[in-house]
Structures are given as C-alpha cells and as structure tokens.
Amino acid sequence: MADTSVARRTRTAALAAIAVSIALSSCGDDGRRDGSATEADGGETTASEGDDGGDAAPKLAVVYYPEFRDGSWGEAALKAGEKLESEGVISEFASQENVQPGADAIRALEDFAEQGYSPIIAHSFNYGDDVKEVAAKYPDTLFVYAGGFGDVDGNVGDYAQPFHEATYLEGILAAGAIDDGNVAGAGGFDIPVCRAMYNSFLEGVQELRPETTGSFVEVGSWEDIQLAKETALSQADSGATMFVGCGQGPTFGQIEAADERGLTAFGYTGDMSERSDAVVASFTWNLDAPFRLMVEDVAAGNGSEARYYDVGMADDAMDVVISPTWESEISADVMELFEERLTEIKDGSLTIEFVSE
C-alpha cells in the first residue's frame, strides 16, 4: 500500500468536520416498562427501573445490531447507559441488541418511542435512515445516531467519534515501546474516521522518530478477524511493527498478528490489554459523556431540538489506558512527553487535527 500523508497538528482552536462514513458495529437490548425480558425481531430485550421511579428523570434506550458484550464499540454504549442509571441521571435504561437496520430497527425504535423513552440512541451509522423515518412520527422525542459527521435535523441528533485524539497519544507510546519499524493502520473500510486515526497515530510516532512511515489498508469487513490478521501479517512482512485498528474486527486481527510476530498493537474503544501482551495501550470511549448531554437536553425540555454531541478528550469522553505489562517498559522521557501532550489536549492548548487524506 502507498504511504499516506501525515496528520497535521495545530495549537490553536479545534477544527473538525468528519465526512460521511460506512456502518460501524454495536449492540443493545430492547426494554419493557416492568423490566421483564422479551424477544422482538430476533433481539433479546432488557430494561431496568431506577430507584427514582417513572417520571423523575428521562428514560434512555439504546439499540445496536450485533451483541453489546464485544469488549469494544457496543459495550461502550451499554456501560454508559448502566452508569447513568446507577447515578440516577436517568430513571430507566433499556437496550436491544441484534437489531438489523431496516424494518427491524424501525419497529424497535417505534416501540421505545411508544413507551416514552427519550433519548433513543441508535448506536451505528447505518441506522441513519431508520432514525429519520421514525423521528418524523415522534417530534417530541429525541433520537440520536452514531453518524459522526454532524447530521442534525429537528429531533434527530448525531454524536462524534474523535478517536484521532487518542491515537495520536498512542503513537507516542508506540514509539517508546518498540525501537524500529513502521506503522500499520487498518479499518473495516476506508472511511474518514479510520484514516484520521491512522494519520494521528503516525504523527504521534513521528514526534519521536520523524523518519517513520506507514501504510493504511481497508480490510473490507468490520467483523472478520481472520481476514484482518492476514492483512496485518502482510503489513508486518513489509516492515510494520506498530498496529492501529479502526473497528473491533480489524483491531482483534491486528492484535493476533502482533502477538504471533512479537510486535505491538493498540486497543480500540475498549481496554484490550487482556487479549495479548502485545497490546501496549488502548483507548476507551466513555459514552456516558455524550449520553449525559442528551439526557440533560431531554430533562430541560429540549428533546425536539437535537444537536451534534461533539465531545472528546477535553470532555473526558476518551482515555488512553496503558496495559499493565507495558507500564514499566516505556521510558520516563516518553511518558513525560505523553503526559505533556495529554494535558495540552485536555486544557485546549493542543488540538489534533482531523486529517482524513
């Protein structure tokens, strides 16, 4: 694969604007007001009531088309809902997984709306058309989906995936974890979010090793781990030693390849340190941050006026978690640079540009 351009960095104000992507995977369960589990459209549904009772706070629902317990994208949404419920921010949390886009999604979204859930979150890009169709029928209910590029209209909102901020920091750690070699980036598909993640990772590496190059590949699937592993091994044969993935399938495949070859890899939207000692660090996606803003909008009576929930590391929406195996393996100088850049991102003095070319 041809080398891609390196992400540019600016210390001024935030930029952003993510172009249209392809479907990203996630999971959920549909709920009933009495908390009983049912099956609908192939997806098991669950719901639980908060201590404050029915109308004390908004009721949050999330739908997802794979299974939630994936250690990555889907589980991030599930944990966020559970956290908000445990804090009493919402009175009830319901989730439905295995909900396919199209007719199944429309039925699930309508069912939640009829039960009075708001906000209702469709945790994947490919729910966009379904959300817009259902939202038109329930103008006072807030619907939000994971478009990631600011697709907002009426009571339909969108939330960002600023993962490039975290992968920039991971790149610094990568350069401190292994002495040589190039960067291997992979996404389920060649979409702007994935390209930006790779570019920022490479930029982080180049803070310490300016001569480093890399390649980005499209696996062709968000879920095929074996195909992703074969792709990563091919990149390793061409000199790659540091792997950064976009999508859980590509990332799991990279981790297996790195483990087999004694190289380094990084986790995606969840702590993947237990999968292999090859995982130097992971970034976690703390979705309670944007979900909390959605709930606050509903509680304030603004459910019919959606917005783009663009929250990143400065708002505690992501963390970079160093794997225990590597905590003592990265030099003090590299850790000092990592902490310095992390502080700058969080206080707004450093903005990592979204560069998708």
Give residue 56's pLDDT: 74
- The 10s digit of each residue's pLDDT in 274-312 is 999 999 999 999 999 999 999 999 999 999 999 999 999
Residues 61 and 175 in one domain: no
Claim to verify: residue 123 and residue 168 sit in the same structural domain: no
The parts of the chain modelled with pLDDT lower than 70 are 1-55
Q: What is the pTM of this model?
A: 0.83
pLDDT in tens, 217-265: 999 998 899 999 999 999 999 999 999 999 999 999 999 999 999 999 9
Domain extent for 136: 38-146
Query: Same domain, yes or no, for 228 and 342?
Result: yes
Same domain, yes or no: 336 and 228? yes
Rounded CA gap, 122 and 339, in Å?
34
Q: Which of 97, 119, 146 is the C-terminal boundary of a domain? A: 146
Q: Do 189 and 326 belong together in one domain? A: yes
- 228/330 same-domain check: yes
**Do residues 230 and 342 share a domain?**
yes
Verify that 180 and 328 share a domain, yes or no: yes
- Could you tell me if 334 and 198 lie in one domain? yes
CATH code assigned at 277: 3.40.50.2300
For residue 294, count other CB atoms closer than 10 A to its CB. Answer: 26
Q: Is residue 291 situated within a structural domain? A: no
